[in-house]
A and B are shown apart, each in its own frame.
Chain A
Amino acid sequence: MKPGSDRKDALNTYPPGPPLYIRGARLIDPDSGRDETGDCLIENGIISAVGKDCAVGRLPPGTQIIEAKGQVLAPGLIDMRVFIGEPGFEHRETLRSAGRAAAAGGVTTIVMMPDTDPVIDEPALVDFVLRRARDTSPVRVVPMAALTKGLKGQEMTEIGLLTWAGAAAFTSGRTSLTNAQVMRRTLAYARDFDALVVHHVEDPHLVGEGVMNEGEMASRLGLQGIPLEAETIPLERDLRLVALTGGRYHAALLSTAASFDVMRAAKRQGLPVSCGVAIANLTLNESDIGGYRTFFKLAPPLRTETDRQACVAALADGTIDVIVSNHDPQHVETKRYPFAEAENGAIGLETLLAASLRLYHAGDCSLVTLLRALSTTPADLLGLPQGRLAIGAPGDVILIDIDEPYVYDEAMIVSRSKNSCFERARFQGKVKLTVVAGAVVHS
């Protein structure tokens, strides 16, 4: 079977806007390495020209022209780990509210996790999400399907049919697959369809009663800790199974220096593996929990500053492939518990770019590296045509003022849930324009 050849083209169902011409921007295209001042023309939802004076004298009638001097024009972000409450938990987030939050944050493609009710584990549900998103969300939504039925970790889902229906990849969602035999078989079977297996590596037994990173800080707070090994042990197991089966594998979220060492070695061996990091683990550490602040209760947990720096180094040296928001809306009342009893997760669609730019402003990594991990690489891993400023690519772009300072106030939060790690945070870098298929969805 040839991968993707019979996949439904779910992506171009978005209504294209009128011709749009963005002029005088700093064009950054991680795919080609382009970084120059120039213009971009989008027609019928597709980029038709890009570069210096690329459409002078041939603008179609009725073209909307945007002057973007001093701003960065980049591919729209592709966020590979977003939890949405629809269907089943609409009080937390709907496809519409997530889409609006994404548009505000410069995310033009949401990759949605299957942890809904019902779980997205059959083709009809993939179809439901795609149609519902098309009708209600201002940005594209691509669902990942469950790797096992009901996310129970036992029976494999219909990887072929789900791919055909439009599932971008297969994942265990919030859960971790403890059964190595099931992991082996799904990796082997997924390989035949060139399907990507995305796994949350966190051994539930080693996590046990743990609620934050194990160590002095947890001990002082009287909270049970989660050891690093809860992440590295399942990761190492998975990588051996990848070597055995040849399946394409993506570790959804890594957070420890030891994990990156393991991942580096696997890549050096040439295994078909990649990994992601949550923006929280790149920009925050366990000290942010302070006096039991439950919005900082996350999975994987915030680690030490040494681990955070290891995340930054792994991003800069290419060990980390993608940065995700790990957007996980929780109703305020599931968070206003004592720390150990509160739910995990924080929203992040709106702050993904702004928080990532902290690394750029701190001199930790280049703009191109950041944008690649936020757009081009996720697109390549998922086989999506967007994520680049190239002729023929979908007209999903964003304009950023990378220096504009602002404070992310609770009143600004677009998401239906307000559990942000970055409440009242000072940011530098604001999305000025978000374009999906040539249509302006946020300005």
Chain B
Amino acid sequence: MTSFSDSPAAAHRHLLGIEGLSAHDITTLMDLAEGEISLSRQVEKKKATLKGRTLINLFFEASTRTQSSFEIAGKRLGADVMNMSVASSSVKKGETLIDTAITLNAMRPDLLVVRHHAAGAVHLLAQRVDCSVINAGDGAHEHPTQALLDALTIRRAKGRVGGLRIAICGDILHSRVARSNILCLQALGAEVRVVAPTTLLPSGIERFGVQVFTNMRAGLEGCDIVMMLRLQRERMAGSFVPSVPEYFRYFGLDEEKLAFAKPDALVMHPGPMNRGVEIDSAIADGPQSLIRDQVEMGVAVRMAVLQALARHLPNQ
């Protein structure tokens, strides 16, 4: 197992997923991120760690928060950041994925942040470039920086991750956030549950070592953290769930259901939220919500990841 800490010779070249990271790798990145939080809170927010480095944000799928989070992280570290949004309509067949990779590679970037709508696309791209690649979400596969920022948010709020009971609720089937979080939180020793109607659960999910609930009240029983996932409105058309009102009634997070969790339970959401679909506005903005902290930790975690990977870039 290679490592994010220790010697440069044993370094990870890319961050493609939580899979393949050890608990030690994860905590190393979280510790590194912890140190970046104060930088973002002061007036002078810039460091020169990545001075002279080029960071390209390559987004094949629209994203506001992840893209801007990586952009700010890169800029605060002094890198030159370029954003490339490839409209998904023009990449129907992914052909431009390889072409774009080859083209961008020739421009010699140091770090490439990639989001793509197809699982495995970032792996494919990473095989074709010489720089470090960071997966900013590939289909329903992984979104490692989201999991890291969630873990960091939890650790800061609760003092630990290990031993906590955490429920991930909603569209697990289509969620890369769920997959990365299950792997990450389990690596850190948390007890992870998933809560969703069966139509939104991936086949074989129990083999991930999670407890599976199809009843929200039972699933939230005694939880320290309730993590909600976004439900795409297209899911109604695909016969996954019948309607928004029905979904909200049985799987949306409201006061009544949250009461089944521990009294000091905290609520998270990777965003963007569908208020009134998977989460009640009062909860999202309420005292138990960690949602704004998650966004702040996102910048810190991405700074940590960029620096950790850049440490092993060639210097000549």
Residue on B with the closest CB to A218?
Answer: B203
Is A153 located at the chain interface by the 8 A CB criterion? no
Does A219 contact B202, Cβ atoms closer than 8 Å? Answer: yes
> Within the assembled complex, what's the spacing in Å between the Cα atoms of A333 and B94?
10
Residues of A within 8 A of B19 (CB): 220
Q: Which residue of B lies closest to A224 (CB)?
A: B140
Q: Residues of A contacting B138 with CB < 8 Å?
A: 222, 338
Name which residue of chain A comes closest to B140, CB basis: A222
B93 at the A interface (CB under 8 A): yes
Against A, the Cβ 8 Å flags (1 = close, 0 = not) of B106-124 are 0000000000101111011
Residues of B within 8 A of A341 (CB): 93-94, 118
Task: Say yes or no: is B193 at the interface (Cβ < 8 Å to chain A).
Answer: no
Q: B141 to chain A: which residues have CB within 8 Å? A: 221-223
Q: Are A216 and B120 touching (Cβ within 8 A)?
A: no
Do B204 and A216 have beta carbons less than 8 Å apart?
A: yes
B205: which A residues are within 8 A, CB to CB? 219
A-chain residues with CB within 8 Å of residue B273 when the two chains form the complex? none
Closest to B175 in A: A222
B53 in contact (CB, < 8 A): no
- Taking a contact as CB atoms under 8 Å apart, the answer to whether A338 and B207 are in contact is no
CA of A221 to CA of B17 in the docked complex: distance in angstroms? 11
Known contacts A219-B204, A219-B205, A220-B179; is-contact A336 B120 (Cβ 8 Å): no
Cα distance A135–B94 in the bound complex, in angstroms: 39
Distance, CA A221 to CA B93, complexed state (A): 20
In the bound complex, residues from chain A placing their C-beta under 8 Å from that of B207 are 216, 219
Which residues of chain A from 302 to 352 have a CB within 8 Å of any chain B CB?
A: 333, 336-341
Q: Are B176 and A222 in contact, CB atoms less than 8 angstroms apart?
A: yes
- Which chain B residues in 75-101 approach chain A with CB under 8 Å? 93-95, 97-98
Within 8 A of B (CB), among A199-228: 214-225, 227
Contact B118 A225 (CB under 8 A): no
Evaluate contact between B118 and A333: CB separation under 8 angstroms: no
Are B203 and A340 neighbours in the complex by a CB distance under 8 Å? Answer: no
Say yes or no for B139: interface residue by CB 8 A criterion: yes
Distance in angstroms between the alpha carbons of A233 and B202 in the assembled complex? 21
With beta carbons under 8 angstroms apart, the residue of B119, B203, B204 that contacts A338 is: B119
Confirm or deny: B71 has a beta carbon within 8 angstroms of a beta carbon on chain A: no
Q: Is the CB of B203 within 8 A of A221?
A: no
Interface residues of B in 11-27 (CB under 8 A from A): 19
A292: interface (CB < 8 Å): yes
Among A227, A291, A336, A339, contact of B118 (Cβ-Cβ < 8 Å): A339
Residues A270-306 near B (CB distance < 8 A): 291-292
Q: Determine whether the beta carbon of A223 is less than 8 Å from that of B119.
A: yes
Q: Given A333-B95, A337-B94, are A222 and B116 also a contact pair (CB < 8 Å)?
A: no
In the complex, which of the residues B95, B124, B142 contacts A292, with contact meaning CB atoms closer than 8 Å?
B124
A338 near B202: Cβ-Cβ < 8 Å: no
In the complex, chain B residues whose CB is within 8 Å of the CB of A339: 118-120
In B189-247, which residues have CB < 8 Å from any A CB? 202-205, 207-208
What is the CA–CA distance of A337 and B120 in the complex, to the nearest angstrom? 9
Partner among A219, A227, A338 whose Cβ is within 8 Å of the Cβ of B116? A338
The closest CB in chain A to the CB of B203 belongs to A214
B124 & A338 in contact (Cβ 8 Å cutoff): yes
Chain B 129-148: CB-based contact to A (< 8 A → 1; otherwise 0) = 00000000011111000000
Task: Tell me whether A291 and B120 are in contact (CB under 8 A).
Answer: yes
CA distance A218 to B204 in the complex (A): 9
Q: CA of A171 to CA of B116 in the docked complex: distance in angstroms?
A: 38
Instruction: Give the Cβ gap from B270 to chain A, nearest Cβ, in Å.
Output: 15
Chain B residues within an 8 Å CB radius of A220: 19, 179, 208
Nearest neighbor of A342 in chain B, beta-carbon distance? B94
Q: Is the CB of B203 within 8 A of A215?
A: yes
A222 to B120, CA, bound (A): 8
**In the complex, A225→B120 CA distance in Å?**
15
CB contact between A340 and one of B97, B119, B202 (< 8 Å): that residue: B119
Across-interface contacts of B95 in A (CB, < 8 A)? 333, 337
B199 to chain A, nearest CB (A): 12
Residues of chain A within 8 A (CB-CB) of B121 are: 338
Q: Do B98 and A292 touch across chains, with their CB atoms under 8 A apart? A: no
Q: Contacts A222-B141, A292-B123 hold; do A340 and B204 have CB atoms under 8 A apart?
A: no
Measured between beta carbons, the chain B residues less than 8 angstroms from A223 are: 119-120, 139-141
Asked if A337 and B97 sit within 8 Å, CB to CB, the answer is: yes
Bound CA span A420–B39, Å: 52
Contact present for A221 and B204 (CB under 8 Å)? no
Do the beta carbons of A292 and B119 come within 8 Å of each other?
yes
Nearest chain A CB to B95's CB is how many angstroms away? 7
Query: Whose C-beta in chain B lies nearest to the C-beta of A289?
Result: B120
B14 CB → nearest A CB, Å? 12
Q: Is the CB of A221 within 8 A of B97?
A: no
Contacts A219-B207, A222-B138, A223-B120 aside, 15 further interface pairs with beta carbons under 8 A come to: A214-B204, A216-B204, A218-B202, A219-B203, A220-B208, A222-B120, A222-B139, A223-B139, A225-B202, A291-B120, A337-B93, A338-B121, A338-B139, A340-B139, A341-B94
A–B Cβ pairs within 8 angstroms, 5 of them? A222-B138, A225-B202, A292-B123, A337-B95, A340-B119
